[in-house]
């Protein structure tokens, strides 16, 4: 158990303030010896929450580092826990304390920016996000879609993209006015109120709110037609058609029309990435990546912090999907519903389309996180993660994985695949034909492990850093017995059960469940699947060889070459029995066909 270092004896304030904490809701602010703000938190009961930092012996590494630096505490008492939550968010946004969850946007992809605070907003593409009151949409993948989207906004809604100061005194408009790409507020050809209406329609388009936008465009079209402004009505009609065409092209769609945000995560080597998918009116309209520093796992506490930071600057949707139920979920629901003005649901999907969407978000988070690493550094980080998850004594640079394959107890084989530094090392692959022709996976696993490491011991070869077994506890115990008999109990051993992807370790009372989005689990799955592929390919080769020898070659006058042609042409003995004469002649010629037909009449 880690020792928690504190400044209780050194600080003139800390011990006294810890002994006089109120039993009220509120916020607490931790400061270091220099008075710098380290962390802002909120509590239902300040006394219980603050004392837990100094009494809990199972704090994570990041919190232990925080406690070691706390020199002083400030308290702000509130009437309710919800009031404390709002205050906490305001303080974090104001001061950005280093130990709070700070989301860093991934700015490597472009956004479409709508300068909403300006009297005459403009639209353009940018890669920099600023807190300037503008609206940002994206990021866009690939980058070309950002420029195409901005071009659609100028074309359909005639929003300007220039940097001209709008004072209405310009003598002549640019060519875009003649091309109907701008309504020319620079020469006062459009009123501020009418231009803001264009900007509102552009905003609805960028937010993916198709039905609301269509209703506004249709109403504007009929209003213009009734006023005999037929050119303006035609523009609204064309925009309506283009809006339908644009949203129809969106690949990700759902029959569920509730506005939804989906949060998936990945954590690797102390860094985390959260991927947010935005579904509006049943269509995916955008996604956002956030980077987290100094995180060990994406748990309920981290998720709660992420949701607070995200929706402090953005209106929450009607529903939020995530991997886990966030900490203090009822309080979060109340706060989010207050921000939205209607009820917000927090949901952990268990099946169906929503699970698929969550998996998409997790996969995108994993890929985004991997982009932050060089390939060699990535493999190193994954191996370090594997070492931490399994509690290994040293880095598992070389892994060997065993699998058994057979068909109802026939052609029983085993495979052993080798991965070095996270990559397949095919020159070291081995396969074994089992001596036990029975459907006994445990005995076969014990035999394969024994044969592999007995030979390595005899030849003085280096042993792997981790032996992985495809299977559950039974297969693990069989491998463990083999290593014990060889005197190799020191080898690290684990098994991966496919049904729920649980990892078993010798002597452990409960299996280890690694998050599905973790690159560590994906490495184990990749090794396990490679062992399965290698085993089943050997089993199929032996089965084909037996089929060739025991059935087709028993046809009088048919040798191995003709039998092989028959098997390649028809796939099985059953198909050879049922094939027509003309098809047989085309495959092996008339002489061999006559022998096959004669054999079929006697068997």
**What pLDDT does residue 251 have?**
38
Residue ranges with strand state E in 120-270: 123-126, 135-137, 260-268
CA angle 543, 546, 552 (to 5 degrees): 120
For the chain, what's the residue count? 603
CA angle 274, 382, 422 (to 5 degrees): 135
**What pLDDT does residue 254 have?**
46
Q: Which residues, 6 or more positions from 499, have their beta carbon under 8 angstroms from its beta carbon?
A: none
Following DSSP, what letter does each residue of 95-142 receive, concatenated?
A: H--TTS---EE-TTS-EEEE-TTSSS-BEEEES---SSS-EEE---SS
**What pLDDT does residue 176 have?**
83
| Main-chain phi, psi angles of 470, to 5 degrees | -80, 110
Q: Are 467 and 449 in contact (CB under 8 A)?
A: yes
**Which residue is associated with the tokens 């098809």?**
583
Q: Which strand (E) or helix (H) includes residue 42?
A: strand 37-43
Q: Beta partners for 553?
A: none
Q: Which of 276, 320, 326, 319 is nearest to 298 (CA)?
A: 326
Domains of the chain: 14-100 (3.40.1440.10), 111-248 (no CATH), 260-371 (3.30.420.10), 382-542 (3.30.420.340), 551-602 (1.10.150.20)
- Rounded Cα distance between 264 and 369, Å, is 12
Q: Are 414 and 449 in contact (CB under 8 A)?
A: no
Strands 260-268 and 135-137: unpaired
pTM here? 0.46
Q: Which of 328, 324, 266, 275 is nearest to 295 (CA)?
A: 266
**What pLDDT does residue 379 have?**
78
**What pLDDT does residue 281 have?**
67
**What pLDDT does residue 224 have?**
75
The three-state secondary structure class of 10 is coil
Q: Which of 271, 478, 505 is nearest to 389 (CA)?
A: 505
Residue 162's CB is within 10 A of a number of other CB atoms, namely 12
Q: Which residues, 6 or more positions from 457, have their beta carbon under 8 angstroms from its beta carbon?
A: 486, 488
Q: Are 323 and 264 in contact (CB under 8 A)?
A: yes
Q: Which strand (E) or helix (H) includes residue 588?
A: helix 581-588
- Rounded Cα distance between 259 and 46, Å, is 36
Q: Are 560 and 568 in contact (CB under 8 A)?
A: no
**What pLDDT does residue 336 have?**
92
Per-residue HEC secondary structure of 430-485 comes to EEEECCCCCCCHHHHHHHHHHHHHHHHHHHCCCCCCEEEEECCHHHHHHHHHHHHH
**Which residue is associated with the tokens 């092209």?**
249
The alpha carbon of residue 37 and the mean position of all alpha carbons in its chain are separated, in whole angstroms, by 33
User: What is the token pair recorded at 522?
Assistant: 């994906």
Q: Which of 218, 266, 313 is nearest to 523 (CA)?
A: 266
**Mean pLDDT of successive 10-residue stretches along the chain, which has 603 residues:** 71 81 90 90 91 82 87 87 83 83 61 88 84 77 72 82 83 82 87 89 78 75 78 71 55 56 86 85 72 83 90 87 92 91 90 82 81 70 87 91 79 90 90 79 91 93 94 92 93 89 87 81 89 87 66 79 80 82 88 88 77
Following DSSP, what letter does each residue of 277-288 receive, concatenated?
A: EEEETTEEEEEE
User: What is the token pair recorded at 514?
Assistant: 């690694």
**What pLDDT does residue 403 have?**
92
Q: Which of 331, 365, 366 is nearest to 346 (CA)?
A: 331
CA angle 568, 571, 573 (to 5 degrees): 110
Q: Which of 268, 531, 331, 586 is nearest to 417 (CA)?
A: 531
**202 preceded by cis ω (within 30°)?**
no
**What pLDDT does residue 326 have?**
92
**What pLDDT does residue 256 have?**
52
Strand order of the β-sheet with 260-268 is: 104-105, 283-293, 271-280, 260-268, 319-321, 345-347
Q: Residues of 131-154 as b/e, b for ≥16 C-beta within 10 angstroms?
A: eeebbbbbbbeeeeebeebbebbb
| Angle between helical axes of 329-340 and 81-95 (0-180°, round to 10) | 70
- Rounded Cα distance between 533 and 535, Å, is 6
Long-range residue pairs from 299-305, CB within 8 A, at least 24 positions apart, any chain: 299/324, 300/324, 300/325, 300/326, 300/327, 301/327, 302/101, 302/272, 303/263, 303/265, 303/327, 304/328, 304/329, 304/332, 305/100, 305/101
Q: Which residues, 6 or more positions from 584, have their beta carbon under 8 angstroms from its beta carbon?
A: 576, 592, 593, 596, 597
Long-range residue pairs from 11-20, CB within 8 A, at least 24 positions apart, any chain: 11/70, 11/71, 11/72, 13/71, 13/72, 13/73, 14/70, 14/71, 14/72, 14/73, 17/72, 17/73, 17/75, 18/50, 18/51, 18/54, 18/73
Q: Which of 428, 479, 495 is nearest to 456 (CA)?
A: 428
**What pLDDT does residue 463 have?**
95
User: What is the token pair recorded at 578?
Assistant: 């049922």
Q: Are 503 and 388 in contact (CB under 8 A)?
A: no
Q: Which of 361, 369, 164 is nearest to 252 (CA)?
A: 361
Q: Which of 419, 388, 369 is nearest to 529 (CA)?
A: 419
* Alpha-carbon distances of 599 from 503, 553, 585, 592, rounded to whole Å: 53, 11, 15, 11
């Amino acid at each position: 158990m880690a020792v928690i270092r504190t400044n209780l004896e050194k600080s003139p304030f800390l011990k006294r303030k810890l002994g006089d904490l109120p039993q009220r809701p509120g916020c607490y602010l931790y400061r270091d010896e220099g008075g710098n703000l380290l962390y802002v938190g909120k509590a239902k009961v300040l006394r219980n929450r603050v004392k837990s930092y100094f009494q809990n012996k199972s704090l994570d590494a990041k919190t232990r580092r925080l406690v070691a630096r706390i020199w002083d505490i400030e308290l702000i008492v509130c009437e309710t826990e919800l009031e404390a939550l709002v205050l906490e968010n305001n303080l974090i946004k104001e001061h950005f304390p280093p130990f709070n969850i700070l989301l860093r946007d991934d700015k490597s992809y472009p956004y479409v920016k709508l300068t909403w605070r300006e009297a005459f907003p403009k639209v353009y593409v940018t890669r920099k996000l600023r807190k300037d009151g503008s609206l940002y949409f994206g990021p866009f993948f690939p980058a070309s879609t950002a420029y195409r989207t901005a071009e659609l906004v100028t074309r359909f809604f005639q929003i300007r993209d220039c940097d001209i100061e709008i004072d209405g005194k310009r003598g002549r408009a640019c060519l875009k006015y003649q091309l109907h790409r701008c309504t020319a507020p620079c020469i006062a050809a459009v009123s501020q109120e009418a231009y803001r209406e264009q900007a509102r329609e552009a905003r609805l388009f960028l937010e993916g709110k198709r039905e609301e936008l269509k209703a506004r465009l249709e109403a504007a079209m009929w209003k213009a037609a009734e006023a005999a402004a037929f050119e303006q009505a035609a523009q609204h009609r064309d925009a309506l058609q283009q809006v339908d065409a644009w949203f129809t092209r969106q690949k990700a769609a759902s029959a569920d029309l509730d506005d939804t945000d989906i949060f998936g995560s990945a954590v690797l080597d102390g860094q985390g990435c959260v991927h947010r998918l935005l579904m509006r009116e049943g269509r995916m309209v955008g996604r956002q990546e956030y980077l987290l520093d100094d995180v060990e796992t994406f748990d309920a506490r981290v998720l709660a912090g992420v949701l607070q930071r995200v929706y402090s600057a953005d209106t929450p949707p009607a529903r939020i999907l995530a991997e886990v139920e966030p900490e203090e979920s009822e309080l979060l629901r109340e706060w989010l519903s207050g921000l939205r003005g209607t009820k917000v649901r927090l949901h952990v999907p268990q099946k169906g389309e929503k699970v698929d969407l969550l998996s998409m978000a997790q996969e995108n988070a994993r890929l985004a996180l991997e982009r932050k690493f060089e390939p060699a550094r990535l493999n190193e980080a994954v191996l370090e993660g594997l070492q931490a998850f399994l509690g290994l004594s040293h880095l598992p640079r070389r892994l060997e994985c065993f699998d058994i394959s057979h068909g109802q107890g026939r052609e029983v084989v085993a495979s052993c695949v080798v991965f070095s530094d996270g990559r397949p090392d095919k020159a070291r692959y081995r396969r074994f034909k089992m001596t036990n022709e029975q459907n006994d996976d445990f005995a076969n696993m014990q035999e394969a492990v024994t044969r592999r490491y007995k030979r390595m011991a005899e030849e003085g070869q280096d042993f792997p850093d981790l032996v992985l077994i495809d299977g559950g506890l039974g297969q693990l115990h069989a491998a463990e017995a083999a290593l014990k008999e060889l005197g190799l109990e020191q080898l690290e051993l684990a098994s991966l059960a496919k049904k729920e992807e649980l990892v078993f370790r010798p002597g452990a009372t409960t299996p280890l469940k690694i998050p599905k989005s973790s690159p560590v689990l994906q490495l184990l799955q990749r090794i396990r699947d490679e062992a399965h592929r290698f085993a089943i390919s050997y089993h199929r080769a032996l089965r084909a060889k037996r089929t060739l020898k025991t059935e087709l070659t028993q046809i009088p006058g048919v040798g191995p070459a003709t039998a092989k042609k028959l098997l390649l042409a028809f796939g099985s003995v059953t198909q050879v029995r049922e094939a027509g004469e003309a098809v047989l002649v085309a495959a092996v010629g008339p002489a061999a066909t006559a022998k096959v037909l004669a054999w079929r009449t006697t068997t």
